[in-house]
Amino acid sequence: MNRPYSGTSFDLTGRAALVTGAGVGIGQASAIALSRAGAVVGVHYHSSEAGAVETLAQIEQAGGRGVLLPGDLTSEQVANRIVDDFVHFAGRLDVLFNNAGNPLRRSSLENCSFELWKQAFDVNIHSAFLVTRRAISHLRSSGQGSIINNLSLSVQTGGSGGAGPYAAAKGALQVFTRTLSRELAPSVRANAIMPGVVETRHHEVFTTPEKMEDYRRQTPLGRNSQADEIAQTVLYLASDASSFVTGALIDLNGGRFLR
């Protein structure tokens, strides 16, 4: 059972956190933040090897401890191996941040191939399911187990400019979070974050500079967010500071969308 709030706040000393997609953006910033709070960190990556190496370098330069965990999480065998390898390295697993995901490419639903639809679900929800299923027994044993899932504002908007398959898969991840929070309580908490527009490589690939400026104008705080800001919420949900929070969805969009 998760212990009551003890006033230790964001201290993760003695705990182990696995971050998927930790080579870039929110995943990279979160892996570094979790390490600085005291956690041993599993730095998973698939295609962003150079970024993952940089993540681990920053962790180690600050006196932290981590390990690189390469692999395609859409493979059941690989997902199982990554969890097993991290637990073998760290000796335990207390925090799982399911961050890995990708819109892949844009397509209207009318013109979406079944192959693209399946790929969107493989990358954005099936991978999280496989990693989480393998991790559950370890998270239960922890006594402070926490699962954090990274959604997308497209869950609220329905996806724009052909992001419908991605939005649908992220919507499934939201329901997955709620199911986990019910099934795993009281020994493991499960929550989700829903970032708005974050100034990361993701938007360098999928969003024009003009659109990014438009997002800034639409946001009451007058800007888009940075990955380091999102990482602080991940750290909160990983720690005892959020000991009475489960099944929650935390909006991080600068007030641009209100539910």
Q: Using omega within 30 degrees of 0 as the cis cutoff, is the peptide bond preceding 186 cis?
A: yes
Q: What is the CA radius of gyration of the chain?
A: 17
Neighbours of 248 (CB within 10 A): 16
Instruction: Report the distance separating Cα 16 and Cα 18, nearest Å.
Output: 7
Could you give the residue numbers annotated as active site? 166
